[in-house]
Chain A
């Protein structure tokens, strides 16, 4: 089975991760622009970060046979540094129409401050102007209110819900998001966000339509194999292969494909997705754990 992980921060991951992802069938990924843990103090570091996303990281992924796309945006945390935020907004037009940029993101609320709202609006307008999908980060604290407020803001600006992927949903937010016509993404992230057994329960209730599963693996304790592992768990629990493929591959492709910057054709026939071709004669994991062992522990709590 092939997977499309539409949310993963590869700048924080190692080549071991890339090898395991390729071996587990991850064909393509989207790296959203985000906060890097350490707050930035200069606009130049944003520029170099964006350059990394469209440059070196894309190249690094390609060496493992993985197609790398990105979204460009000012994240909500750093939107609160207004002086910096203004400069980032001036920088963004240089990036958003580039090849392989599949949306504006990840943007949204963190603390739900007025500054965050201002830059959410401005970036939503920019997405309209460039006719791009939007990738929404929903806040960890007061998530339900923040999610609904995000959708209100987007609708005020005039963005069409089918061009928006709302991420980090849970049992509390999914109903509103789907009812209002958005794509609902779920981040399978150990301990702090959502385990994959909960994902199974959600799919039992809501099916697969407009549902997306991603890993959001980053610099924290997270799992770059979350998408293939969740597929394995869903399969074991009896979700149909067709529905699994929808949430782990076809839906994110359709949602972000609206940018015109990602299509299945991009990775058809690329060598390296077949791990035996890329890593011939080598064990897959330098860390010692082979892919069977890694994938056998597919429950994420």
Chain B
């Protein structure tokens, strides 16, 4: 089960005493949940684990987690985050009112790293429909780590957000230079208003003489409006890293022939797309 699996991942690199403290805390809180000791434990993770240490999950670990909950990963986490998420799973096992009241108090008083842990735990918690508002509110932050905890490598938004909230999140990613390929569900949740907003954003940036991320076009691939067709032609002519590749990815995806007139401009990349050497993900990683 999830909790045991996560502890076993933490155990691979964290200090033995820290992990045994966590195990004892989990056991005693499961036997009888007590709010104040839970507060101490949740923040007190910083007193037991190494504040600078990341975790070391294996490829198999990550595959197992992904199998359990699609899109869920601990790949970029540190010890603090994982230990706190484990405690939050225990909180999720409590009665609904205790769970909600305690989670609320934790979130309202959380420091930066605690907030990232709380949002990272959302896909593992119960009563998720009640967590949507706070996730949307969390995205209003100016702090990149908090934005990342919600928007990147987290299946919660794609599963729960309305189109409006989703679109705001994806647009903001471009404003604060976050990698779109790490937004889980980025293709599946694409929609026409988002594609149009993306195109408008590109026009705004072009007008200002500013750089437009090639990743921006990913959300436009299935919405080839007149304006977007023109945009793709412009992107195919842009001599900057990743631009022609982005155009090639859209051209390859177009089975209605709307982009046939620019096929020649990007043909060197179409073979790469055909044999999956070039994908939106590989392009995002490159940037």
**Cβ–Cβ < 8 Å partners of A50 in chain B:** 109
Q: Tell me if B51 is interfacial: C-beta within 8 Å of chain A.
A: yes
How many of B's residues come within 8 Å of A, CB to CB?
Answer: 19
Q: Tell me if A283 is interfacial: C-beta within 8 Å of chain B.
A: no
A23 to chain B, nearest CB (A): 27
Check A94 against B47 for contact (C-beta < 8 Å).
Answer: no
Nearest residue (CB) in A for B36 is: A93
Interface residues of B (CB under 8 A from A): 36, 39-41, 43-44, 46-47, 51, 80, 105-106, 108-109, 111-114, 143
Q: Tell me if A99 is interfacial: C-beta within 8 Å of chain B.
A: yes
Q: Tell me if A258 is interfacial: C-beta within 8 Å of chain B.
A: no
Q: What 5 additional pairs, Cβ within 8 angstroms, besides A97-B44, A99-B51?
A: A47-B108, A55-B111, A98-B46, A130-B40, A260-B47
21 CB < 8 A contacts A-B: A47-B108, A50-B109, A51-B108, A54-B111, A55-B111, A55-B112, A59-B112, A59-B143, A94-B43, A95-B109, A97-B41, A97-B46, A97-B47, A98-B43, A98-B46, A98-B111, A98-B114, A99-B43, A99-B46, A99-B51, A99-B80
Nearest residue (CB) in A for B143 is: A59
Per-residue CB contact flags for chain A residues 96-129 toward chain B (1 = under 8 Å, else 0) read 1111100000000000000000000000000000
**Cβ–Cβ < 8 Å partners of A47 in chain B:** 108-109
Check B111 against A94 for contact (C-beta < 8 Å).
Answer: no
B149 to chain A, nearest CB (A): 15
Check A95 against B108 for contact (C-beta < 8 Å).
Answer: no
A56 to chain B, nearest CB (A): 10
Check B105 against A94 for contact (C-beta < 8 Å).
Answer: yes
- Docked complex Cα distance between A194 and B52 (Å): 40
Nearest residue (CB) in A for B44 is: A97
**Cβ–Cβ < 8 Å partners of B44 in chain A:** 97
**Cβ–Cβ < 8 Å partners of B113 in chain A:** 99
Check B111 against A93 for contact (C-beta < 8 Å).
Answer: no
B105 to chain A, nearest CB (A): 6
**Cβ–Cβ < 8 Å partners of A99 in chain B:** 43, 46, 51, 80, 111, 113
Chain A 78-103 interface residues, beta-carbon cutoff 8 Å to B: 91, 93-100
Q: Tell me if A63 is interfacial: C-beta within 8 Å of chain B.
A: no
Check B47 against A95 for contact (C-beta < 8 Å).
Answer: no
Q: Tell me if A222 is interfacial: C-beta within 8 Å of chain B.
A: no
B80 to chain A, nearest CB (A): 8
Nearest residue (CB) in B for A131 is: B47
**Cβ–Cβ < 8 Å partners of B47 in chain A:** 97, 260-261
Nearest residue (CB) in A for B48 is: A260
Picked from B80, B109, B111, the residue with its CB within 8 Å of the CB of A91 is B109
